[in-house]
Amino acid sequence: ADVLLYRRGQGIKRIWPTRDKILVCVGPGESKKLIFAAARIARSLKAEWIAIYVDVPRLQSSEEERNRAVTKLRHAERLGATTRLLVGSDIVKEIINFAHEQNISQIMVWKSSHQTWKDYIKIWKNISSGKRVFTFSSLADKIVRDSGEIDVYVMTGVKEETKIPVTTPRKKSRFSWKSYLYSLVIVGISTMIDYFLFSYLNATNLIMIYFFGVFTVALYDKILPTIFTAIISVIVCSFLFMPPYYTFAVFDSSYMLSIVLMFVIALTINYYTVTSRREALRARHAEQLIARLHSLSRQLATTRGVEKLFHIGVEYISQSLDCDVQAMLQQEGGLVVRAKSQADWILDSKDMSVAQWVNDLGQSAGLGTDTLPFSKALYIPLLASRGTIGVLSVRPKIEGRLFTPEEMHLLESFAHQLAITLEVDLYQ
């Protein structure tokens, strides 16, 4: 701790090998073999090890891929690792920066032994879907190139394709006509402006009017509407305002460079705008969760009565993590539901047996855990100083979604705060 504090205070970027510290890069396709190997090496070196997963907003990973990565993080945590979920636009940059901040001496990363036909199909899907995330250079190669003085251990093998059970199929995003209608309106306004200024401006300046319209769409919409706006702008502008008029001979004219620049600049602006917006939303969400934890602590401290305490805890957890919550209290006859956020959610006999198991052993079970992972809800014990006094049942509103390690820690913090306050109220 003293070394880390001193390095940060002095702005030291170079790694100080004061002790071995291992960083494991986890992703949806990496094999558990990598995590087992990291655990063995950490135990033999008596070293601290950290497992991280970098969530890149521009990749737009599916729910299944995200769940696979979260499951591997939890597996590493059970083997003794500290887990972190990072958010950034560049995976390699985030990994290297994190390694320098934590004074990491060794990085372990997975590399597929060869690119299969599925990898090339995925590259083509990324291109066609507008994600613009395609490369023939592996993550391991990039980390080795940028690692500097950090040792990098590369494990090879075949990517895992194990499916994480999802109770319902993931809903496909609906095609939105509003974005394209908005694009047509922007092109129409640009055309009207050019029509009135046609006698006063040359063709290059008229193109800039359309560019401003494309720029507006790029700032507030996604990649496909931006491309659509740019194409329609080129067609309308070349047909009406570029000689020879009322023809599509623009590709033979001297204005081709201006049109190409309009495409490139618009797509670049859209890329950075969308990425920054997603990262800002994630950062704001994390800040809101921490603020809610502090707010919950203050409100619980000033509230008395079991029913009121349960109601406050359930509402805070439900709103913070977008989930349905039921709070159960241990009584002489067993667990009794005292508060819930969703009135029509009724626990059956199987759910109650899981909750009773959690209450008896004081361990979490259910969704995303090793115990009954196919359950639709996660069951967390309310652990107080005298033992378990109840159970929280937490069910994501999006069925099949797994809680990240950070969300799990936050849930445990919520449960701990609620349990301590309930214990004071019950036994005072």
Residues 6+ apart with CB under 8 A from 390: 327, 328, 329, 330, 335, 338, 359, 381, 382, 419, 422
Give dist(CA 220, CA 206) in Å, integer. Answer: 23
Query: Can you state the angle between helices 63-78 and 405-427, rounded to 10 degrees?
Result: 60
Instruction: Give the CA count within 13 Å in the CB-facing half-sphere of 320.
Output: 27
Statement: the pTM of the whole predicted model exceeds 0.85: no
Give dist(CA 108, CA 155) in Å, integer. Answer: 8
Return the residue matching tokens 């989930």.
323
What pLDDT does 358 receive?
A: 92
What pLDDT does 79 receive?
A: 86
What pLDDT does 192 receive?
A: 93
Spell out the long-range contacts of 261-266 with Cβ–Cβ below 8 A and sequence spacing 24 or more: 262/207, 262/210, 262/211, 262/214, 262/230, 262/233, 262/234, 263/230, 265/211, 265/215, 266/211, 266/214, 266/215, 266/217, 266/218, 266/226, 266/229, 266/230
Cβ neighbourhood burial of 94 (10 Å; 0-12, 13-18, 19+): middle
Return the residue matching tokens 């052993």.
361
Spell out the alpha helix ranges (H) of 115-176: 117-128, 139-146
What pLDDT does 17 receive?
A: 63
Q: CB of 379 within 8 A of CB of 358?
A: yes
Return the residue matching tokens 């390095």.
7
What pLDDT does 357 receive?
A: 92
What does the block give as tokens for 167? 């109770």
What pLDDT does 173 receive?
A: 47
What pLDDT does 16 receive?
A: 67
What pLDDT does 172 receive?
A: 45
Give dist(CA 319, CA 373) in Å, integer. Answer: 24
Give the largest CA-CA distance in the chain.
Answer: 90
3-state secondary structure of 107: strand
* E strand spans, 255-404: 323-331, 334-340, 365-366, 378-384, 387-396
Residues 6+ apart with CB under 8 A from 386: 423, 427
Which residue positions in the chain have pLDDT lower than 50?
117, 123-124, 127-136, 162-173
Q: CB of 241 within 8 A of CB of 206?
A: yes
What pLDDT does 171 receive?
A: 44
Q: For residue 410, which phi and psi values (nearest 5 degrees)?
A: -65, -40
Q: CB of 318 within 8 A of CB of 378?
A: no
Question: Side chain identity at 265, as an amino acid letter?
Answer: I
